[in-house]
A and B are shown apart, each in its own frame.
Chain A
Amino acid sequence: MWQFFHKLGSPRWFFDLAGRLMPWLLVSGLLMSLVGLVWGLVFAPPDYLQGNSYRIIFIHVPVSFLAQSVYVMMAAAALITLVWRIKLADMFVKAVAPVGAVLTFLGLFTGAVWGEPTWGTWWVWDARLTSMLILLFLYIGAIALGSAISDEKFAARAVAVLVLVGVVNIPIIKYSVEWWNTLHQPATFTLTEKPKMPMAMWVPLLLMVLGLYCLFGWLACWRLQTEIIFRERKARWVRDRIMAGGRG
């Protein structure tokens, strides 16, 4: 068990592990999200109130869901960076921050597109929307701080502190729809409770969420590999690998 953790800290070992995981993540992610997407957009029954416009849920919910959990993952990695100084953890923070920012933006964008036909407005200053906007600002702040500092180690640890401070926003986003009774509906998707929507809607949504997680895993592995190669570019194994041709 401990050996596994020690290995996980080694960029070289993780590089190979990522290389082996990536095809599986990509294939299963594409498969699940394609099935979920086609099922959700074409075959799922229309909503009795919103008709077909609700179908954007199959993109909006998974993307927003992932946007938050990426931040939580980043925060966990930031804590590991500060406490145990594992190189891989800070690489993860750096590799994943732009992905999280894009996901948050997509969540806000699809929400706006959905809000127009159902709420009659693109944007409201509702608690959930505002706190997601703050999440986007936090991602941008972390990226900006990281790129302002040239020294890699210093940048990683400074960003880690910032990411950890920003964690206060996560519970606010999560519970905003319960604490403040505003326009945004409460959580649509939970695994712990019996779903309130019919199975024909819930299953494709679940597939989309899982598929997006896999695709995120694939993208994270890919970006991590790039980061590892860049940081370890002076190491011998990287040179050997490049001589042998490609990512391996």
Chain B
Amino acid sequence: MPTDKRPVMTPVQNTAPLAQAVIAIMRRDLKASLRQRQDLFNPLVFFVMVVSLFPLGVSPEVSFLRQSGTGILWVAALLSTLLSLDHLFRHDYDDGTLEQLLLAPQPLFLLVLAKATAHWLVTGVPLVLLAPVLGVMVHLDGNSIGVLCLTLLVGTPVLSLVGSIGAALTVGLRSGGVLLSLLIIPLYIPVLIFGTGTVTAAEAGAPVSGYLAIMGALLALALTLAPFASAAALRISLSNS
């Protein structure tokens, strides 16, 4: 029996290189969210609405707003990120894309990182861009607004990354939304503390580099650990269905 008739195992041809796969996922997610504008704008509108509740509900006085403006903006940013997190994996879960991602030869944590980055680009970055306008509306001075935007720029990716863990854990559940907030808010508290702490220090005229360094450390920690946790959580969530 001739041995050369045996089928030869050829390496899988369509294994895209890592960088290409990551970029492809990011482009796909960005395109998908640009086509569903509602999902893109609703968290932003929510952000503006929550901020405008405070002058109406508590006090429109300049002294109050100047003092608590950064906190209000940060809390509103945090809540609107939470609101958008439910969509992070939900659509992909519903149409089966998520299972394909799990089966892909590329390491899952990098794909999750790509998805979280895309999420940050469409939710975090608009928040940062919108913050100066709202900062003026709550009477923050120019220097504080600058520092606030800087903290949001460093802080919102942490929100997206840490949030991806909660989104991955609750993706298979029917009542994911509220549960997601319950799980994730405790983990957001350090970011909130240091984010507002930085602006408070800037207002007091203290150097902010130390605070920003801690925020950077939080970002580094989230960047390196959160994708692994959410990849593990995704595997658990999908093994159930």
Interface residues of A (CB under 8 A from B): 82, 130, 134, 137-138, 140-141, 144-145, 148-149, 151, 153-154, 157-158, 161-162, 164-166, 168-169, 172
Q: Which residues of A contact B186 (CB under 8 A)?
A: 134, 137-138, 141, 166, 169
A204 to chain B, nearest CB (A): 34
**Size category of the binding interface on chain B:** 20 to 34
Chain B residues contacting A149 (CB-CB under 8 Å) are: 173, 240
Name the segment of B22-30, B110-118, B231-239 touching the other chain.
Answer: B231-239
5 A-B contact pairs sorted by A residue (CB < 8 Å):
A134-B186, A144-B182, A158-B233, A161-B169, A161-B229
Asked if A82 and B232 sit within 8 Å, CB to CB, the answer is yes
With A165-B165, A172-B190 as contacts: A154 and B232 at CB distance below 8 Å: no
Report Cα–Cα, A154/B233, bound state, in Å: 10
Which 6 A-B pairs have CB atoms at the shortest separation, nearest pair first? A154-B240, A137-B186, A157-B236, A141-B183, A134-B186, A161-B233
Bound CA span A14–B187, Å: 34
For A161, list chain B residues within 8 Å (CB). 165, 169, 229, 232-233, 236
Residues of chain A within 8 A of B175, CB atoms compared: 148
B residues 159-213 in Cβ contact with A at 8 Å: 165, 169-170, 172-173, 175, 179, 182-183, 185-187, 189-190
Residues of B46-70 at the interface with A, using a CB-CB cut-off of 8 Å, are none
Shortest distance from the beta carbon of A143 to any chain B beta carbon, whole Å = 10
Q: How far is the CA of A157 from the CA of B233 in the complex (A)?
A: 8
Candidates B173, B182, B183, B229; contact of A164 at CB < 8 Å: B229
- Once bound together, how far apart are the Cα atoms of A151 and B239, in whole Å? 11
Query: Are B236 and A154 in touch, CB under 8 angstroms?
Result: yes
Residues of A within 8 A of B182 (CB): 137, 140-141, 144-145
A247–B183 Cα distance when bound, in Å, is 36
